[in-house]
A and B are shown apart, each in its own frame.
Chain A
Amino acid sequence: NAGVTQTPKFRILKIGQSMTLQCTQDMNHNYMYWYRQDPGMGLKLIYYSVGAGITDKGEVPNGYNVSRSTTEDFPLRLELAAPSQTSVYFCASSPDKSSYEQYFGPGTRLTVT
Chain B
Amino acid sequence: AQSVTQLDSQVPVFEEAPVELRCNYSSSVSVYLFWYVQYPNQGLQLLLKYLSGSTLVESINGFEAEFNKSQTSFHLRKPSVHISDTAEYFCAVRPIYNQGGKLIFGQGTELSVKP
Partner of B107, one of A35, A41, A99: A41
In the complex, how many residues of chain B place their beta carbon closer than 8 angstroms to a beta carbon of chain A? 25
Stretch from B12-20, B67-75, B76-84, B94-102 contacting the other chain: B94-102
Whether the pair A97, B44 counts as a contact (CB closer than 8 A) is no
Given contacts A48-B100, A97-B99, A97-B100, contact A40 B9 (CB under 8 A): yes
Judge if B105 is at the interface, Cβ distance under 8 Å.
yes
User: Whole-angstrom distance between the alpha carbons of A107 and B42 in the complex?
Assistant: 7
Judge if A79 is at the interface, Cβ distance under 8 Å.
no
User: Whole-angstrom distance between the alpha carbons of A48 and B101 in the complex?
Assistant: 9
Judge if B90 is at the interface, Cβ distance under 8 Å.
yes
Whether the pair A106, B100 counts as a contact (CB closer than 8 A) is no
Q: B46 — which chain A residues lie within 8 A by C-beta?
A: 101-102
Whether the pair B44, A90 counts as a contact (CB closer than 8 A) is yes
Judge if B56 is at the interface, Cβ distance under 8 Å.
no
Closest 4 pairs between A and B when the two form their complex, measured CB to CB: A104-B43, A42-B105, A43-B105, A104-B44
Residues of B whose CB lies within 8 Å of any CB of A are: 4, 6, 9, 32, 34, 41-46, 49, 51, 90, 94, 98-103, 105-108
Q: List 21 A-B contacts (CB under 8 A).
A: A4-B43, A35-B105, A40-B9, A40-B107, A40-B108, A42-B90, A48-B100, A50-B99, A50-B100, A92-B43, A94-B101, A97-B99, A100-B49, A100-B94, A101-B49, A102-B44, A102-B103, A104-B44, A104-B45, A106-B41, A106-B43
